Structure 1
Amino acid sequence: MVLKVNIEYCSACGYFPRMKEIERAIQKEFPTAKVTGEGGRSKSFEVTINGELVHSKLTSGKFVNPPVIVEAAKAIAAKQAAAAE
C-alpha cells in the first residue's frame, strides 16, 4: 500500500520550508509515498497519513519534528499491512 501524506500548512505564515522538511523525511523512508502540501488555514500545520490525522498545530500549538511523523507513518503502514493480511 502506498502511503498518502497530506500536509496543510499556513503559507502566509512561512511554513512552506517546514512542510518540505517533513516531505523529505517521509520520501527518504518511503520512496513511493505520495506527499502533497497545500496552503491552508492561518497558523495551520496539519499532517494526515492515509486519512488519519497524526499532527495538528491548530490543536497542539506546536510544530512536530520530522522523525515523529516518520514513526507515525511506519506505525500506520504496519497497521494497514497487518489488516490487509
Structure 2
Amino acid sequence: MYCRPCGYLDRALEAAREILSYFDDVKVELEQGKNGIFDVYVDGELKLSRYQLKRFPEIEEMLKEISSKKQVS
C-alpha cells in the first residue's frame, strides 16, 4: 500500500518491478492509500511499514520477507 498523494507511486512501481524480476511466481498488487503510508504485505500480513521503520523499506528487506514466506509455504 502506498500514498499516492505523497508521490510514492514511482517508489511502489520500482519495488514491484524488482520483486517481479526476482520471483517469477508471485503476484504483486499496488493499492493506493494516503497519510504517508508505504506498507508491504505478504499474503495479507503486514511485514514492513514506513511508519514502524521510520523510513522506507529497502528492496532487499522486501525480497527477504517474500523469500521467508515462500520457504514456509
Same fold (TM over 0.5): yes
Distance 1:68 1:56 in 2: 11
**Structure-1 residue corresponding to 2:9:** 16
Distance 2:28 2:38 in 1: 14
| Length-normalised TM-score, structure 1 | 0.79
Any gaps of 5 or more consecutive residues in structure 2?
A: none
Query: Do residues 55 (structure 1) and 40 (structure 2) align?
Result: no
**Structure-1 residue corresponding to 2:35:** 42
Across the aligned residues of Structure 1 and Structure 2, the Cα RMSD in angstroms comes to 1.1
2:52 counterpart letter in structure 1: T
Any gaps of 5 or more consecutive residues in structure 1?
A: 1-7, 81-85
Q: Does the CA-based 8 Å contact 1:25-1:67 persist in structure 2?
A: no
The aligned length equals 73
Could you say which structure has the greater relative contact order, defined with CA pairs below 8 angstroms and 6 or more residues apart?
A: 1
Q: Does the CA-based 8 Å contact 2:48-2:57 persist in structure 1?
A: yes
Structure with greater strand percent? 1
2:30 counterpart letter in structure 1: G
